[in-house]
Chains A and B, each alone.
Chain A
Amino acid sequence: MSHPSSKSKPWQAIRTEAIESLLNELGVIDSARVDEIVHHYEEHVGPKTGAHVVARAWSDPAFKQRLLTDGLAACAELGIGGPETEMLHVLENTPTVHNVVVCTLCSCYPWPILGLPPAWYKSSAYRSRLVREPRKVLAEMGLELPEAVELRVWDSVAEIRYLVLPEQPPATQGMSEDALAALVTRDAMIGVAKVTALSLPFADSGE
Chain B
Amino acid sequence: MNGIHDMGGLHGFGRVEPEIDEPVFHSEWESRVFCMTQVLDTTGIWNLDEHRHEIELMDAASYLTDGYYGRWLFAMERLLARKNIVRHEEVEARIAEYCADVRHPVAPSGAGRNWPLPEHMKIRWGAWRKEIEVTPKYQVGEAVRVRNIHPEGHTRVTAYTRGKVGTIAIVNAQAWVLPDTRAHHRGENLQPVYSVRFAAQDLWGPQAEANHFLHVDLSEDHLESVSGAD
Contacts and interface: CB of A to CB of B under 8 A. Distances in A.
Interface stretch (A1-9, A59-67, A175-183, A194-202): A1-9
Interface of A: 1-9, 12-23, 25-30, 33-35, 37-38, 41-42, 46, 83, 86-87, 89, 104-107, 115-116, 118-120, 122-129, 131-137, 140-141, 147-160, 187
A16 B33 contact: yes
Given A1-B17, A9-B66, A119-B22, A106 B52 contact: yes
Nearest to B70: A12
Given A136-B209, A150-B213, A119 B19 contact: yes
A119 B24 contact: no
Interface string B91-130: 1001100110000010110100101100000000011100
Contacts of A16: 29, 32-33, 36, 73
B209 A120 contact: no
Given A21-B94, A26-B113, A148-B211, 20 more contacts: A26-B115, A28-B40, A34-B35, A34-B38, A89-B195, A106-B5, A116-B24, A120-B18, A124-B64, A128-B12, A134-B209, A147-B210, A150-B212, A151-B211, A151-B212, A154-B195, A158-B172, A159-B177, A160-B217, A187-B18
A159 to B, nearest CB: 4
Contact of A158 (B24, B176, B214): B176
Nearest to B113: A26
Q: How big is the B interface, by class?
A: 35 or more
B26 A8 contact: yes
3 smallest A-B Cβ distances: which pairs? A104-B8, A158-B217, A159-B127
Interface string B30-71: 111111101111010000000010010000000011111110
B131 interface: no
A9 B67 CA distance: 9
Contacts of A127: 7-8
B19 A6 contact: yes
Contacts of A120: 16-19
Given A9-B66, A153-B213, A158-B217, A41 B158 contact: no
Contacts of B186: none
B9 interface: yes
Contacts of B67: 4-9, 12
Given A13-B27, A38-B32, A134 B16 contact: no
A131 B48 CA distance: 24
Contact of A22 (B108, B156, B210): B108
Interface of B: 5-19, 22, 24-36, 38-41, 43, 52, 55, 64-70, 73, 76-77, 80, 85-86, 90-91, 94-95, 98-99, 105, 107-108, 110, 113, 115-116, 126-128, 156, 158, 160, 170, 172, 174, 176-177, 193, 195, 203-204, 207, 209-219
Given A26-B86, A86-B127, A33 B39 contact: yes
Contacts of B158: 104-105, 155, 157
Contact of A135 (B28, B36, B174, B209): B209
Given A12-B70, A15-B95, A104 B7 contact: yes
B78 to A, nearest CB: 11
Contacts of B94: 18, 21-22
Contacts of A41: 24-25, 31, 34-35
B24 A124 contact: no
A67 to B, nearest CB: 16
Nearest to B214: A153
